Structure 1
Amino acid sequence: MAAHWETVVTRLVAERGAALTRYAALLCGDDEEARDLVQDALAATFGRLRNGFEVEQAEAYVRRAIANRFLDRARRRQRWQRIRPLVVPHERIDSGSTLTGAHLDMAARLERLSPRERACVVLRYYEDRSVDETAKELGIAAGSVKRYVSDAMAKLREQIATEDAEGAR
């Protein structure tokens, strides 16, 4: 007979796996890395036998683990970029994704934000979280969330204005 936690993780992946992967993809901007983030978050959440919660609570734990792992990876990448002698642009390969052009444009715009800004925007507007919920999820102050969202929205507006100006030429 399967342990309760095994049933929970099986149901979570079956019912909410695609949503968790989309959430991770919005954070990191890469489908493969998103799947890795979800896998790492699931392993971390269920690596220690966690009995006593249902799918909804498990999903909250996994989402927080995804956000934390994304920020940890981003910090490591930034540290590496500072010490790396040669900066090589990240080569993108078309994944054959069925996202529309507008979604691809927004995903590209989100990639230009800092990791914290991106996480705050995704939690606030994609996940429809309040400022306090976003702050709790990321372990930062509500004022910091407001600042990151404000800075990110200004950058996104600037990017869109620049794109519109270039398109009008």
Structure 2
Amino acid sequence: MDRYDGFREFVRVRQQSLMRTAYLLTGDAHLAEDLLQTVLIRVAAHWRKLDGGGNAEAYTRKALINQHISWRRRKIVETPHAELPEPGGRHDEATVRRLVLRQALARLTPRQRTVIVLRFFEDRTEVETAHLMNCTIGTVKSQTHHALSRLRTMAPELAGLLDDAATEGSR
């Protein structure tokens, strides 16, 4: 019996979702690939313990968050710029909004960015987010509030989107 039985299938099935989370956390496709690869190496080492318990995905997502925060503390990330570069061609409104949101997310603290990704992109509850971030629900609420406030200040053009997020987050 191979010690990685089930691991390959887990990665095949969950890789796209895990990569999306890694990308949202890092804001950079290459850094997201590095983050996911680093975490999957660690998950593979603990696979026997995880596979039987059915908690492999939760463990992997929590490892992504922890590794991302660890990297941010060490400053192993891209440096965001104060202004978007001039577009080379015409972009539709959704593309511009995505670029502005990505740039604004990159300027949040690691915990603020993590809470926004988990609550609004991953659609996690406050309880799930607190568990994944290893903090209290009160911390999740305050980090969400501070992150949305910073995003409103940094990117006022996203006000409608952020107001919708705040309304959904209060449910």
Q: TM-score when scaled to structure 2?
A: 0.75
Closer, same or farther: CA 41–8 of 1 in aligned 2, 3 Å? same
Matched with 1:30 is 28
Q: Quick one: distance in 2 between partners of 1:162 and 1:70?
A: 28
Closer, same or farther: CA 61–140 of 1 in aligned 2, 3 Å? same
Q: Quick one: distance in 1 between partners of 2:153 and 2:100?
A: 14
1:47 counterpart letter in structure 2: A
| Most deviating of 112-121 and 13-22 | 13-22
1:108 counterpart letter in structure 2: Q
Which runs of structure 2 are paired with 1:85-100 in the superposition (5 Å)?
100=95
How far the C-alpha of 1:48 sits from its partner, in A, is 3.1
Gaps of 5+ in 1: 79-88, 92-98, 165-169
Matched with 1:154 is 149
Closer, same or farther: CA 124–162 of 1 in aligned 2, 3 Å? closer
Q: Quick one: distance in 2 between partners of 1:64 and 1:163?
A: 29
1:58 counterpart letter in structure 2: A
Closer, same or farther: CA 101–56 of 1 in aligned 2, 3 Å? farther
Gaps of 5+ in 2: 82-93, 160-171
| Residue 109 of structure 2 is aligned to residue 117 of structure 1 | no
Matched with 1:82 is none
Which runs of structure 2 are paired with 1:41-52 in the superposition (5 Å)?
41-51=39-49
Matched with 1:102 is 97
How far the C-alpha of 1:162 sits from its partner, in A, is 6.2
CA contact (8 A) 1:113 1:155 kept: yes
Q: Quick one: distance in 2 between partners of 1:50 and 1:129?
A: 27
Q: Quick one: distance in 1 between partners of 2:73 and 2:50?
A: 33
1:2 counterpart letter in structure 2: D
How far the C-alpha of 1:157 sits from its partner, in A, is 1.5
How far the C-alpha of 1:90 sits from its partner, in A, is 6.0
Q: Quick one: distance in 2 between partners of 1:50 and 1:37?
A: 22
Q: TM-score when scaled to structure 1?
A: 0.76
Matched with 1:66 is 64
How far the C-alpha of 1:2 sits from its partner, in A, is 2.9
How far the C-alpha of 1:104 sits from its partner, in A, is 2.5
- Alignment RMSD, CA only? 2.7
Matched with 1:9 is 7
1:76 counterpart letter in structure 2: R
1:155 counterpart letter in structure 2: R
